[in-house]
Amino acid sequence: MLYRGMYDCLLSQAVFSLSGKVIAMEGTPKNRIMDEDGIRRAISRISHEIVEKNKGTDKLVLIGIRTRGVPLAERIKKRIAEFENVQLPIGLLDITLYRDDLSTIDVQPVIHETKVPFSIEGKTVILVDDVLFTGRTARAALDALIDLGRPQKIQLAVLIDRGHRELPIRADYVGKNVPTSSREIISVCLEETDGTEEVLLLEKS
Amino acid sequence: MLWIKNVNLVDPTQGLSGVRDVVVRDGIISAIQERLQEQDVLAVLGTARIEEVQQIDGSGKYLFSGLIDVHVHLREPGQEDKEDIRSGSRAAVRGGFTSILAMANTSPVIDQRALVEFVRIQGQRAGMARVYPIAAVTKGFKGLELVEMMDMRDGGAVGFSDDGKGIQNAEMMRLALEYAKLTGCPIISHCEDNDLAGNGVMRRGEESARLGLRGIPASAESVMVARDVLLAGETGGKIHIAHVSTKESVQIIRAAKNIGIDVTAEVNPHHLLLTDKDVTLTGTSFKVNPPLPSMEDQEALLQGLADGTIDMLATDHAPHTWEEKAKPFAEAPFGINALETALAAVWQGLVVKGLLSPEQVVKLWSLNPARRFGLAGGTIQVGSAADMVLFDPLYKEMITAESLESKAQNTPFLGKEMQGFPVMTWVNGELLMENRKILDRK
Amino acid sequence: MKWKRKDLLDLENLTAEEIKHILHTAIPMKEILGRPIKKLPTLRGKSVVLLFYESSTRTRTSFENAAKILGADTTNFSVAQSSVNKGESLLDTAKTLQAMNVDLVIVRHSSSGSAEFLADILNAGVINGGDGQHAHPTQALLDYFTIQDHLGGFEGKKVVIVGDILHSRVARSNVVGLKKLGAEVTLVGPPTLLPPEMKYLGVKISHHLDQELPGADAVMALRLQLERQQSGLFPSIREYSKLYGLNKERIKLTGKDTIVMHPGPMNRGVEIASDLADSVQSVIEEQVTNGVAVRMALIYLLIGGGTVNVVD
């Protein structure tokens, strides 16, 4: 079951690293870092931290970075609704057009829609993504956000921080810190996008 | 002195098509017989020294009377960047042509005797194919006044034509046909109604619609063919229809011949071998006037050739510089460079496929042109001048810009390998081309 | 899917999948057009040359906007202010652009095939912004985007195109792609402007507009070049308008909420009446907006990285 799940998850992920190379979809599973419960607990904790750090939900908006930041943002919204009884505005961001490696990558990425159906002017934006790695995606997301308006604050929430930053960027909320080597791949699988619920550590093959 | 052995001699005037030996002395055919012996040849040539006789093994090859092309554009005077009389007559010899008729649409137009003489003398200077000038019908091609036809004929003109432009005014054409009777020369008509042709650049039809190129309807030619044969009938003048390219033109010419009108007609190889389907937006070597025909037109042209409605083949050799043709289709000039590829194209496209016999080729491209325009040549018989072509049906050649003697390279066959080429050409008994190379005189 | 083309010259060689990919990419681009800050860093440092030999403020502006929003630098190489007037050939202009190492050339030219001519010479990508009577692929694509937006798709949709089909690159390109996408197209116009050879397109040809309108989901009027009257192609604007002009009354014949399209610029009162052009059924202004989005998508696909160096 474990391996079946991994296989489905890997198949559904065409992962492009921002450092310029297409990461092979094949990888040897080494370790399961989080299971369904682990992910649920991490989301729950991040949700509480967001409310706590911002002293409530006033001016808070959630924006998920495509692809897996989107379901994560939705879960955070749902969780906060459960304990704060507010429905935070939620948007989704496609950062492709802001990538700094378009001219060097082999396969041109498909552009998806950015949907932020509210003004972010003066708001506290919680950017949500699955993995924080080099920081380049977050950088692109910051640029994309600022083109949409002038928020008062932007905070970053990620499920996994695997280190190896190439830019001065850090997350405000982290589900789990996972020290990795550069030969390893972190693969986040979510029910909405991949059909399973787990985080895997893979060895590049 | 020349002795060609065991060659397949094709000469429709004598109804001859078989293996013969041919002996030439002082530029004149001296003997044609089967399997001549050395002593017979020496006797005919009046010499005892066999080493003075050039001996050529003709086995597997054809010997034709030199081809006569009644429709070439040599561009001199005035447009020598495209071609000149020297380069064009060299290209002719390389293509198997021993006589060519040079069209008058030069700059200036050949509308005075001095210009006719200039073309003729430049032809003699080049010393290659015989160059016969065609004079304009109207001064400056303006369609308003006739040229001095008799004076020009005396200067060497063998026909009259405003080719490159149709004579739009019917009365002008009627007068030309009437007056030209004095000269005995035919009027060569470029049949094109300017209003119908409009700004068209290819044959009007589904292909022109698809490419978004302006079309020239077939009627732009055919209505003029009808007009001109009627005028020839009425005046009793001689008309030759240049570059027939439509089904209706063939039908009209057939009907005109049936009622005794003095009309002849030519067809260009490209109209027999290519169609409007071959036209592409960047293929300016396929841009020609009249434009490449539809399939249906092409079938009618072949039928017209087969039944004698069309009397001759002619290249309409129309060289243009590379820069002029390196343009979007609509902006490039009309014209195909043809002298050096036409025979190979006809051979592999029609003869090999059984659509035309070698005898017909000689008749259509040598005998009939000679007869219509009153020229020497058109036959290989004892006593005639040795204008001859040795043709190798197996010879293969890649058509490249470098290999062409013509200054221009606007041929649809550029970069293609073709088969069936002349390997020797004699004019007046003198060998001017051997193994596809012009023999330069010292 | 992978985008592999260097150029967009016409729609003949494009697959339905490729057309849909362009339309799909245009959706996020349209969202960007609605933002207060319409500027992206995507094509920073890329140079786009607008080579316009025919005056066309609309198309040129649309392309220029599209390129600029994506962050590219644009240069106008238009006929009035360049060596074109001094008689430089298209070949030499192409060589000049090649030497300048530009990334993309958008060309509009009165000769059919001029875009292909340039594409054969240039390493840069080439977008055909309209060549003679041959093709105008970006206009067709923006029309598809508009149709898709309103009708939800193409399969089984009836599109009527009315006007001077013979001289229209818009009509040619539109039909080619609409067929691939599964729409049912009918062409309507007087016999002089819709002659028999247009049957090569393989769609229904008719000379009677009122007979073709019932059931139409989209009706597109083409601009009538008024000077064609002098060439004798139609007797008068009055008669043309009576037979082929769209108006509010006539469009009711469709029996549907038909959308009304026009590539612009309109001759109001000739091929389309003002009452219809400004009605809720008219999507003419949306076509203009969608034009920028579709052109952004194309420019991104052609020079937005990934496969720009792939030679096809």
Q: Do domains C16-135+289-303 and C137-284 have the same CATH topology?
A: yes
Q: What is the CATH number of domain C137-284?
A: 3.40.50.1370
Q: Are residues B32 and B74 in the same domain?
A: no
pLDDT of residue A19: 37
Write a three-state SS string for chain A.
CHHHHHHHHHHHCCCECCCCCECCCCEEEEEEEECHHHHHHHHHHHHHHHHHHCCCCCCEEEEEECCCHHHHHHHHHHHHHHHHCCCCCEEEECCHHHCCCCCCCCCCCCCCCCECCCCCCCCEEEEEEEEECCCHHHHHHHHHHHHHCCCCEEEEEEEEECCCCCCCCCCCEEEEECCCCCCEEEEEECHHHHCCCEEEEEEEC
Spatial distance between the Cα atoms of C220 and A133, rounded to a whole number of angstroms:
51
- With CB atoms and an 8 Å threshold, state whether C135 touches B214: no
Spatial distance between the Cα atoms of C44 and C67, rounded to a whole number of angstroms:
10
In 10 A of CB C289, how many CB atoms? 17
CATH number at residue B162: 3.20.20.140
Q: What is the tally of structural domains in chain B?
A: 2
- With CB atoms and an 8 Å threshold, state whether C91 touches B329: no
Chain B residues within an 8 Å CB radius of C109 = 328
Q: Are residues B348 and B219 in the same domain?
A: yes
The full DSSP string for A154-166 is EEEEEEEE----S
| Token representation of residue A10 | 């890997």
Lowest mean per-residue pLDDT among A163-172, B290-299, B391-400, C227-236: C227-236
Nearest to B282 among C109, C117, C195 (CB): C117
Only one residue has tokens 């021993």, namely B98
Closest listed residue to residue B25, CA positions, set B5, B6, B52: B52
pLDDT band at C79 (very low <50, low <70, confident <90, very high): low
Mean pLDDT to the nearest integer, A182-186:
89
pLDDT of residue B441: 63
pLDDT band at A4 (very low <50, low <70, confident <90, very high): very low
- Interface confidence, given as ipTM, is 0.91
Domain containing residue B433: 2-63+383-407+416-438
Q: Chain C: nearest CA to A64, how far in angstroms?
A: 16
Output the average pLDDT for chain C. Answer: 92
Classify residue B158: in a domain, yes or no. yes
For B238, the 3-state DSSP assignment is: coil
Q: Chain A: nearest CA to C59, how far in angstroms?
A: 24
Q: Chain A: nearest CA to C69, how far in angstroms?
A: 11
Q: How many CA atoms lie within 13 A of B199 on its CB side?
A: 10
Percent over 90 (pLDDT), chain C: 83
Domain containing residue A127: 2-204
Q: Are residues B18 and B132 in the same domain?
A: no
- With CB atoms and an 8 Å threshold, state whether A97 touches C25: no
φ, ψ of residue B438 to 5 degrees: the values are -70, 135
Residue B328 in contact with partner chain C when CB distance is under 8 A = yes
User: Is the peptide bond between A67 and the residue preceding it cis, with omega within 30 degrees of 0?
Assistant: yes
pLDDT of residue A2: 43
Classify residue B378: in a domain, yes or no. no
- With CB atoms and an 8 Å threshold, state whether C133 touches B207: no
Output the average pLDDT for chain A. Answer: 86
What residues of B act catalytically? 316
Chain A residues within an 8 Å CB radius of C305 = 101-105, 108
- With CB atoms and an 8 Å threshold, state whether C131 touches B212: yes
Nearest to C304 among A102, A106, A149 (CB): A102
pLDDT of residue A99: 87
Residue C42 in contact with partner chain A when CB distance is under 8 A = yes
pLDDT band at A20 (very low <50, low <70, confident <90, very high): very low
In 10 A of CB B414, how many CB atoms? 15
Nearest to C42 among A102, A104, A112 (CB): A102
φ, ψ of residue A26 to 5 degrees: the values are -80, 135
Residues 105-144 (C) with a CB less than 8 A from some CB of B: 109, 111-114, 116-117, 120, 131-135
Nearest to C89 among B209, B215, B327 (CB): B327
Q: Is the pLDDT of residue C310 over 50?
A: no
Bigger pLDDT: C90 vs B242: B242
- With CB atoms and an 8 Å threshold, state whether A98 touches C41: yes
> Please, what is the Cα angle at B56 between B54 and B57, to 5 degrees?
155
Q: Are residues B235 and B322 in the same domain?
A: yes
With touching defined as 3 or more inter-chain CB pairs under 8 Å, the answer for chains B and C is: yes
Q: Are residues B179 and B283 in the same domain?
A: yes
Q: Are residues B273 and B124 in the same domain?
A: yes
Q: Is the pLDDT of residue B123 over 90?
A: yes
Mean pLDDT to the nearest integer, B295-303:
98
Q: Is the pLDDT of residue C309 over 90?
A: no
Q: Are residues B241 and B189 in the same domain?
A: yes
Q: Spell out where C163-287 has E strands.
A: 184-188, 204-206, 218-221, 259-261
Mean pLDDT to the nearest integer, B41-59:
92
Spatial distance between the Cα atoms of C251 and B160, rounded to a whole number of angstroms:
61
Q: Chain A: nearest CA to C47, how far in angstroms?
A: 14
Q: What is the tally of structural domains in chain A?
A: 1
**Highest-pLDDT range among A187-201, B100-114, C24-38:** B100-114
Q: Are residues B197 and B250 in the same domain?
A: yes
Burial (CB < 10 A; 0-12, 13-18, 19+), residue C228, is: middle
pLDDT of residue A200: 92
Residues 67-106 (A) with a CB less than 8 A from some CB of C: 94, 97-98, 101-106
Q: Are residues B197 and B340 in the same domain?
A: yes
Output the average pLDDT for chain B. Answer: 96
Q: Chain B: nearest CA to C179, how far in angstroms?
A: 15
Bigger pLDDT: C244 vs C231: C244
In 10 A of CB C243, how many CB atoms? 16
Q: Are residues B50 and B111 in the same domain?
A: no
Q: Domain map of chain C by residue range?
A: 16-135+289-303, 137-284
Nearest CA in chain B to C110: B330
Percent over 90 (pLDDT), chain B: 98
The DSSP bridge pattern shows strands B430-434 and B417-427 to be antiparallel
Bigger pLDDT: B176 vs C96: B176
Chains contacting C with at least 3 CB pairs below 8 Å? A, B
Lowest mean per-residue pLDDT among A88-102, B234-248, B312-326, C18-32: A88-102
Q: Chain C: nearest CA to B322, how far in angstroms?
A: 11
Helix axes B219-235, B170-180, angle to 10 degrees: 40
Q: What is the CATH number of domain C16-135+289-303?
A: 3.40.50.1370
Chain C residues within an 8 Å CB radius of A136 = none
Indicate which of C134, C201, C227 best probes the interface with B, i.e. most B CBs within 10 Å of its own CB: C134
pLDDT of residue A26: 53
Q: Is the pLDDT of residue A18 over 90?
A: no
Spatial distance between the Cα atoms of B424 and B66, rounded to a whole number of angstroms:
10
Nearest to C133 among B212, B282, B331 (CB): B212
Helix axes A69-84, A36-53, angle to 10 degrees: 60
Q: Chain C: nearest CA to A19, how far in angstroms?
A: 14
Spatial distance between the Cα atoms of A115 and B128, rounded to a whole number of angstroms:
79
Chain C residues within an 8 Å CB radius of A104 = 305
Nearest CA in chain C to A116: C31
Start-end of H helices in B236-294:
247-258, 269-273
Burial (CB < 10 A; 0-12, 13-18, 19+), residue A89, is: middle
φ, ψ of residue A157 to 5 degrees: the values are -120, 130
pLDDT of residue C85: 57
pLDDT of residue A152: 96
Cβ-contact B101, B71 below 8 angstroms: yes
Residue C39 in contact with partner chain A when CB distance is under 8 A = yes
Q: Are residues B48 and B145 in the same domain?
A: no
Indicate which of A97, A118, A147 best probes the interface with C, i.e. most C CBs within 10 Å of its own CB: A97
Q: Is the pLDDT of residue A29 over 90?
A: no
Nearest to A105 among C39, C70, C306 (CB): C306
CATH number at residue B49: 2.30.40.10
Q: Are residues B56 and B74 in the same domain?
A: no
Nearest CA in chain C to A113: C28
Q: Is the pLDDT of residue A12 over 60?
A: no
Closest listed residue to residue B367, CA positions, set B299, B313, B302, B297: B313
Q: Is the pLDDT of residue A28 over 80?
A: no
CATH number at residue A165: 3.40.50.2020
pLDDT band at A16 (very low <50, low <70, confident <90, very high): very low
Nearest to C31 among A98, A103, A114 (CB): A114
Nearest CA in chain C to B328: C114
